[in-house]
Amino acid sequence: MSDTAGRAPVAGPSTFRSLRHRNARLFLGGLFVSQIGAWVQYTALAIVVDRLTGSTTAIGVLTALQFGPLLVLGAWAGSFADRVDRRRIVLITQSLLALQAVALAIADFVDVLNVGVVYALTLALGIVSAIDNPARRGFVIQLVDQHEISNAMSLNTATMTGSRIFGPAIAALLITRVGTGWLFALNAVTSIAIIRSILAVDRSKVHEAPKVAPGGRPIRDALAYIRATPSLGATFVVFAVVSTFGYNHNVSLPRIANEIWRNEQWFGWVMTVISLGSMIGSLMTAARPAVTMRWMAGHGLILGLSGLALAWTPNGWLALVVAIPLGLGGAAFIASMNSFSQQECPPEMRGRILAFIAIAFLGSYPIGGPITGIVGDLIGLEWSIAYGATITTLAVLWLIARVVPRAGLQVATEVNVG
């Protein structure tokens, strides 16, 4: 049951229309605060590994450990999210993520934080996050009405990307003043926000998700559905390629900030501005009443071309300029994929479809992250960004040439028939 039962749906497009639900406001607000802390921690960890190793490959390994479990467990986690109470799962996983931040802080304070400890605790975070991701995003959908799903998914992306405006900036400001241990502790404290928001959600106004019965072939059924939907299947392939090679800036930027821009703090500042662009791209997508393939492809092209520009930027100040369209295109591309897929799939399959999107996006980091690190160490730091931007641009151009025209023709046909 909705907390706006009996009220007519809001007419016309509105960027924040799904926030009329108190439950959605509570959850996304808590998620925003929590994710600020998560990005503080990630920025600090990348700098710690860079200080300890001076290796782009080592930062790529860090990324692989954080997102590798999603590649392995993601499909199962999506099926699990379609079978159980998503609220309970998210409450448990978010509590475990808070404990991981506490462990990092303690290890730093007692001076035992070496590369091995960082890698082990990052792997633990990755395993918990793999289970959390589809359950958390599926739970967001249960907080709004059916016609607001696309908007809620875009606002969820805006929340995740918008938190990066503040997280890396806070890390850049504080890392030389208070040390990394207190930044990890800050992440643990901000985790309280999402835990409290989950507990405060009015469960009587949460839409019940159709549960998938035990047994059967839930993962195969979801894959079969993706393959049987031509536009969705082709889009998934391009999305996976772009996700693997087009979003590895966080692997390259710590080294580029040190070696080319001559100050490690540029990493935090550039990530902050990328995130500002991401917030703009997410909100632009949220403002649309429906997301089209053309919108998604156009912003994928902006992502690729901006990545090429960032690769050859000679200083941090110019990087801040390029970072805006890079973040805008990247976030709009992700938000479009989330929204487009949820517009198309049946309710009982949403957790699995979201899991496959997460696998394609986050689960591809274990492949793209180390490759990016190796390219940076063996070929050059500029090429560690340029190669991925080139692949991204080519993949999106294929989507524009082969899929977008057919998708447009299908929409036109449906309108004429209607």
pLDDT band at 245 (very low <50, low <70, confident <90, very high): very high
* 59-63, 298-302, 401-405: range with highest mean pLDDT: 298-302
pLDDT band at 346 (very low <50, low <70, confident <90, very high): low
pLDDT at site 214? 56
pLDDT band at 387 (very low <50, low <70, confident <90, very high): very high
pLDDT at site 288? 80
Q: What's the mean pLDDT in 160-181?
A: 84
Q: What would the pLDDT profile of 15-60 be if each residue is shown by its tens digit?
A: 788 888 999 999 999 999 999 999 899 889 988 998 899 888 888 8
pLDDT at site 104? 95
Residue, of 222 and 117, whose pLDDT is higher? 117
pLDDT at 363 over 80: no
pLDDT at site 405? 61
- Please list, in sequence order, all residues whose beta carbon lies within 8 angstroms of the beta carbon of residue 152, skipping any fewer than 6 positions away: 18, 24, 140, 141, 143, 144
pLDDT at site 237? 86
Q: pTM surpassing 0.75?
A: no
Residue, of 399 and 345, whose pLDDT is higher? 399
Q: Which domains does the chain have, with CATH numbers?
A: 20-199+217-410 (1.20.1250.20)
Q: What would the pLDDT profile of 302-338 be if each residue is shown by its tens digit?
A: 999 999 999 999 999 999 999 999 999 998 998 888 7
pLDDT band at 404 (very low <50, low <70, confident <90, very high): low
Residue, of 357 and 61, whose pLDDT is higher? 61
Q: Return mean pLDDT, the chain.
A: 83
pLDDT at 260 over 70: yes
* 55-69, 85-99, 127-141, 250-264: range with highest mean pLDDT: 85-99
pLDDT at 229 over 50: yes
pLDDT at 339 over 70: yes
Contact 69, 365 (CB under 8 A): no
pLDDT band at 217 (very low <50, low <70, confident <90, very high): low
pLDDT at 1 over 70: no
Q: What's the mean pLDDT in 388-398?
A: 95
The proportion of the chain whose per-residue pLDDT surpasses 90, expressed as a percent, equals: 34
Contact 392, 234 (CB under 8 A): no
pLDDT band at 171 (very low <50, low <70, confident <90, very high): confident
pLDDT at 71 over 80: no
pLDDT at 172 over 90: no
pLDDT at 374 over 70: yes
